[in-house]
Chains A and B, each alone.
Chain A
Amino acid sequence: MPLLTGPWVVAGVGLCAALMVVLADWRLSLLAFAAQSVLLTMLSTRLLPLPWAALRMLVGGLVAVLWFLSARWVRWGRLRQGEGETGRPRLSLSPRLLIPLSSRLRWRGERWPLLSTVTLQRLLAVGLAGLLFFRLQGRLRLPVLPSDLALASTWLWLMGFLALALSEEPLRAGLGLLTLSAGFQLFYAALEPAATPVGLLGSLDLLLGLAIAYLMVARGLAGRPHLARRLGLPPLEGTSEEADR
């Protein structure tokens, strides 16, 4: 089995999916998502011709750039400053990977480094999902798909569902949704290795990516009209009053 489509790449895909769920920093999560797209493209070459497989990388890359720009526009990191998913102050584990908010914590005079409850919760959830996965992997039978790709596909579904369950933030939910979709596409490529389904599913991913980017901007501008003005962003759409006038 060639090096670029072998077990190391499968492990890499799994690791990227897990990191996407665990990491608190949205930029690193996006990086993991982009890396996952590249690795999935490599794996997909075992099932599809290279140009079709490369479509996944193209779509994944475009979506990652789109989300990155949207998040930067609305200053996503600062928006979430001091808020976890539940709106409570977020504590972090290490300055580089898990502490987007270290400055605020120090400003508050709390001890540093501190353990992130949200990160820990996610880590624990991924651990439990991993246990479940290893427990059930003997029973997993996906038709046509080689066993290592079946494992990758199932792990991606698991991580996708986990990301969706753990957060209602557009960015994190979007990452979860596209991870789920990636797992399905890997499976479906073995069932229907044809251009039409690959193109249709790729275009759906792109459309979902655009929708999530729009939601990120809508979420990010909440209560910050000054930010929209300062960034020169037009109002997303006319309000009722505007339309009535």
Chain B
Amino acid sequence: MAGSAFVLGLPLLAAALVYLLRRWAPMAATVSALVAAALAWMVWHWPPQATVLLPGRVLVMGQPVALLGQELLLTPAGQPLLVFTCALAAVCFLYAGCISQGRSFFPLGLVLLSLFNAALLTEPLTRAPLLLAFAGALAVYVIQAGRPGSTRGALRWLLFPALAFPFFLVAAWYLDQVPLNPDDPAPFAAAARLMAYGFLFLLMAVPLHGAVPALTAEAPPLVSAFLLLSHNGVVLYLLNALLRAYPWLVDYHDVSRWLLWLGLITAGWSGLLAVGQREFGRLWGYASLFDFGGLLVALGLGAPVGLPLATSMFIARAAALVLGAMGLATLRHRAQGDSFQRASGAARRLPWSVAALLAGGLALAGFPLTVGFPGHWTLWQYLSQQAPRGALLLLLGAAGVIVGYLRGLQALLGPLHDREVEREPRLASGLAAVLLLLSLLLCLRPQLLSELVSTVTAALATVARVRL
């Protein structure tokens, strides 16, 4: 049996079972989280070269599977991100068992996990955005989660991958034309241009960022965190893999420069918009955009610091987003909303959730003593040497996000808006407390991540060059 078939098939099989259990949230959450965690463990411990004896079957992890004209293959480059998406899904499912994120999150979350994983395994790489479009169409149900009313978040999240994938398919066609006339530079230029357009839609950075705040404002928070992180992870993986597989792309675009400026504009603009927000969901969205801008800037710094720094920032981003999502989920559930007015005084009733919400949000801005601080501080130091104005813009953006959260804190510490607000569930506050401590530890001792970062960076560098 091929490893890729196992990695994709197991969540799909589990989704069918979980669909039947979806009315019993704790049971569905447990099964979903166990499957996702088991998958993460397996992919981490069984590398692509491994052959594993299962009862009655031999599992060859690196064996490719041909499906619908494309090859699905577990590679060392994709392995870390596969582990990441599965582990992320496990945490999100576990918390969703405590604070409901919609019944459909468990079965559809597993299907989405399978689709994101498929995008990481697909060869040729140019087909992966099509899978992201399928994921976007399915994500609509978990984003809306049965809530009547505005459909902006779901609709916008659906649009961008659907608009992006055609560029990659046509770029792939141009690449196929290269062997017919290898001396003609036109197909190379066209493919490079089309891929650049495709990535503009997929990255969802400013000015095409509308999906992110809409998603965080309307979707259940853990769903937002899962979708944002998985999508970002797959897109950044694709960007790295395509640049390594087709190194001539940099002859047509100064990718580092583009990423640097795209990141700076995203960070600056989202920081500016974060100042005036009055809802935690939207504020969290702009904070995550700011952090994503920082991540793009880190990638734009180029070798040798760019990729390791971006990797460590991505790990911190994951911790910060999940932490913020946990806090926001409990706040929305207990306070029946996330506007500053509704959340007024919630700090007294929901101390752990409010701490998680603030720690997660401020970490996205790189605030000291949060998990995001080491990455942002390192970035700022490098950037201040290479582009002092850019560093200033980044600092102003961070200040905007921090001011937004301070305004939120003022509301959270204010008079209680609703005396009926219940206290937070114990399991939820326990999970939030564990993640809070973990993020504090990672802030105080960021070197704990250095081995993981170098492993991931080394794995990402193994993408083979494609001969045309």
Contacts and interface: CB of A to CB of B under 8 A. Distances in A.
Contact of A239 (B141, B146, B173): B146
B180 interface: no
Nearest to B100: A243
B145 A237 contact: yes
B53 interface: no
Nearest to A142: B170
Contacts of A210: 137
A140 B103 CA distance: 48
Contacts of A242: 100
Contact of A204 (B25, B137, B152): B137
A104 B171 CA distance: 51
B159 interface: yes
Interface in B86-129: 99-100, 102-104
Nearest to B163: A180
A26 interface: no
B154 interface: yes
Interface in A185-229: 187-188, 191-192, 194, 196-197, 199-200, 204, 207-208, 210-211, 214-215, 218-225, 228
A165 to B, nearest CB: 11
Interface in B161-190: 162-163, 166, 169-170, 173
Given A239-B146, A243-B25, A204 B133 contact: yes
A173 B146 contact: no
B100 A215 contact: no
A244 B26 CA distance: 9
Contact of B155 (A170, A192, A207): A170
B151 A218 contact: yes
A199 B148 CA distance: 33
A208 B151 contact: no
Contact of B137 (A170, A211, A240): A211
Chain A contact residues: over half helix, strand or loop, or mixed?
A: helix
Contact of A221 (B148, B162, B173): B148
Is the interface on chain B under 10, 10 to 19, 20 to 34, or 35 or more residues? Answer: 35 or more
B329 to A, nearest CB: 9
The residue among A204, A220, A240 with the most chain B CB atoms within 10 A of its own CB is: A240
Interface string B129-146: 010011001101100111
A47 interface: no
A228 B147 CA distance: 13
A95 interface: no
Nearest to B220: A240
A2 interface: no
A119 interface: no
A120 to B, nearest CB: 25
B160 to A, nearest CB: 11
B159 A214 contact: no
A188 B134 CA distance: 18
Given A180-B163, A196-B69, A237-B103, A211 B158 contact: yes
A204 B130 contact: yes
Contact of A237 (B68, B137, B146, B155): B146
B431 to A, nearest CB: 16
Contacts of B445: none
Nearest to B156: A168
Given A177-B159, A196-B69, A211-B140, A237 B148 contact: no
Contact of B166 (A188, A218, A225): A188
A196 B104 CA distance: 30
A238 B137 contact: no
Contacts of A204: 130, 133-134, 137, 162
B316 to A, nearest CB: 29
A222 B148 contact: yes
Contacts of B170: 187-188, 191
B162 A177 contact: yes
Nearest to A195: B69
B349 interface: no
Given A164-B159, A223-B148, A237-B145, A208 B137 contact: yes
Given A168-B152, A211-B158, A240 B99 contact: yes
Contacts of B149: 218-219, 222-223
A215 B151 contact: yes
Nearest to B99: A240
B407 interface: no
B340 to A, nearest CB: 21
Contact of A238 (B134, B146, B151, B158): B146
Nearest to B214: A168
Contacts of A197: 69, 169
B293 to A, nearest CB: 25
A240 B100 contact: yes
Contacts of B158: 177, 208, 211
8 closest Cβ pairs, A-B complex: A237-B146, A243-B100, A236-B146, A221-B148, A211-B140, A207-B137, A215-B151, A240-B100
Given A180-B163, A238-B146, 8 more contacts: A170-B151, A188-B169, A197-B69, A204-B134, A219-B148, A237-B146, A240-B99, A244-B100
Interface of B: 23, 25, 68-69, 99-100, 102-104, 130, 133-134, 137-138, 140-141, 144-152, 154-155, 158-159, 162-163, 166, 169-170, 173, 333
Interface of A: 164, 168, 170, 173, 177, 180-181, 184, 187-188, 191-192, 194, 196-197, 199-200, 204, 207-208, 210-211, 214-215, 218-225, 228, 235-240, 242-244
